[in-house]
Structure 1
């Protein structure tokens, strides 16, 4: 796949957003139908994925080659262990952060606990949100943050700093309640990508994470609790203790995983002369 720089990525995203704004504006003027924010997000994400693959000169052969390589390298035990540990870290960190905030500003803590990307009011919106979160987001975010941003940064400032900086950006763009967890998730995804040289590896754990989150949303939708705010059963002291224990356990396991893969950060990036790198 052809190397894509960060500035090229930004330029492509701006063009896609402008095109989407104009296209949906014309559709709205002709049909008097306003496209929802969810619809816009699905269109933008799908378009970006297609353009990045085409612009990066990914073809059927290269994609099949990556998929076959993925099947040979995929380690289900490693992925499941990382997913569970990352989920525990994310839950523990968000619980600790909201418990601390609740002690000083209860309303802000409740707002953080109930934030969401989209309001789901019907089955069609539920399908759209599920597709966006479980399929499109993992593909696009791995292409953008690992395949493009991480690799671009690592060529200039080294693998470890490239992983840290790209993960900070990745986490900053997520909801406040999961920023810390998203940053660590991004860092582990960088390790997986650098370790296996195949974007499908971190993409698989990303899809697993988002799919399970979507399943909880689906269950909540049919139970009628998805859009209801969490305003009771909040015990900041208890939450702080439980969250801290979970956070410590997850941090130890993730720290050991990072240490065991420390050789990755000592690799020196070779100069890419033919503008081609693995997907």
Structure 2
């Protein structure tokens, strides 16, 4: 990290992987110490996780303290709103591919085997007010900020210097996807690739953060409603299948086209 650099975007690119690692370790140690001082962090896993995420965010704030140019990044978000919404849309629809495949397979087996007992039970997630608030804070506030800072601004940035753009995209996105549920690993991986593309195109971390935020807001709202049960029932599942096919084609086209363009630009 070069604190002599005043520009926000450039300073962000100077944070090294080993510096991030040390920052996370210090945040973890401080969280454990505070856990022994304040019992709530020991008895409440959600509170402990919020504490840890907050301390990691403090690390980035300290790294970027004194830099300038963040206001220009905010303006950049407004100037790229169409691409932000487009990338969000194709990714959120593609994310239903795994659920769609499971439901269709279950239906197919059921039609050919009268004794088949469906194992698919789709229902809305019931959350207490406190659990819903925690989900909003972690998924909507912390996840878009911290995950983009960690996986795109530091990991992807530093790796592309050493091994090139495409390998850096793949490795950082694989690591990003590992932290997600099994059914969402593929969609999280491709989502990570798209975030790398957006970040590299614009040199503005707020743009992938914006897509990530919108994605998590919508995903959280869908989880607490009966939308999944409705969209995977007949005849809506046919429409879902068509939308997934279109989104898959557009997603692959976006990744391939933009990656080629960026490779030519930075080669």
| TM superposition score category, shorter chain reference | 0.7 to 0.9
The answer on 1:71 being equivalent to 2:78 is: no
Q: Mean alpha-carbon deviation: is it higher for 188-197 or for 152-161?
A: 152-161
User: How many angstroms does 1:43 deviate by?
Assistant: 1.2
1:264 alignment counterpart: 262
1:120 alignment counterpart: 127
2:95 alignment counterpart: 90
The structure-2 alpha-carbon separation of the partners of 1:97 and 1:265, relative to structure 1 and needing over 3 Å to count, comes to: farther
Q: Mean alpha-carbon deviation: is it higher for 79-88 or for 260-269?
A: 260-269
TM-score by length of 2: 0.77
Equivalent of 1:253, from 238, 250, 254?
250
Q: Are 1:96 and 1:243, in contact at CA under 8 Å, matched by a contact in 2?
A: no
2:194 alignment counterpart: 188
Q: Are 2:199 and 2:208, in contact at CA under 8 Å, matched by a contact in 1?
A: yes
For residues 81 and 253 of structure 1, the distance between their equivalents in structure 2, rounded to whole angstroms, comes to 10
The structure-2 alpha-carbon separation of the partners of 1:242 and 1:14, relative to structure 1 and needing over 3 Å to count, comes to: farther
Equivalent pairs counted in the alignment come to 246
For residues 54 and 103 of structure 2, the distance between their equivalents in structure 1, rounded to whole angstroms, comes to 34
Equivalent of 2:44, from 36, 48, 51?
36
User: How many angstroms does 1:129 deviate by?
Assistant: 1.7
Q: Are 1:139 and 1:203, in contact at CA under 8 Å, matched by a contact in 2?
A: yes
User: How many angstroms does 1:61 deviate by?
Assistant: 4.5
User: How many angstroms does 1:256 deviate by?
Assistant: 2.1
Q: Are 2:173 and 2:190, in contact at CA under 8 Å, matched by a contact in 1?
A: yes
For residues 161 and 247 of structure 1, the distance between their equivalents in structure 2, rounded to whole angstroms, comes to 27
Residue by residue over 1:25-59, the C-alpha shift from the partner in whole angstroms, topping out at 9 and shown as x without a partner, is: 2322xx8x8442211111111110111231x2x13
For residues 118 and 28 of structure 2, the distance between their equivalents in structure 1, rounded to whole angstroms, comes to 37
Q: Are 2:100 and 2:232, in contact at CA under 8 Å, matched by a contact in 1?
A: no
SS state at 2:192 partner: helix
TM-score by length of 1: 0.74
For residues 35 and 257 of structure 2, the distance between their equivalents in structure 1, rounded to whole angstroms, comes to 49
User: How many angstroms does 1:21 deviate by?
Assistant: 1.9
Equivalent of 1:149, from 123, 144, 155?
155
User: What is the root-mean-square deviation in Å for CA atoms of aligned residues?
Assistant: 3.4
Residue by residue over 1:226-253, the C-alpha shift from the partner in whole angstroms, topping out at 9 and shown as x without a partner, is: 9xxx8xx988xx97x7776444322211
User: How many angstroms does 1:267 deviate by?
Assistant: 4.2
Residue by residue over 1:199-224, the C-alpha shift from the partner in whole angstroms, topping out at 9 and shown as x without a partner, is: 0110110011111223335x54xxxx
For residues 18 and 67 of structure 2, the distance between their equivalents in structure 1, rounded to whole angstroms, comes to 27
Alignment of 1:103-118 (within 5 A): none
Higher normalized contact order (CA 8 Å, seq sep 6+, divided by chain length): 1
Q: Are 2:193 and 2:255, in contact at CA under 8 Å, matched by a contact in 1?
A: no
Instruction: Return 5+ residue gaps in structure 1 as ranges.
Output: 270-279
Instruction: Return 5+ residue gaps in structure 2 as ranges.
Output: 1-10, 110-115
User: How many angstroms does 1:91 deviate by?
Assistant: 0.8
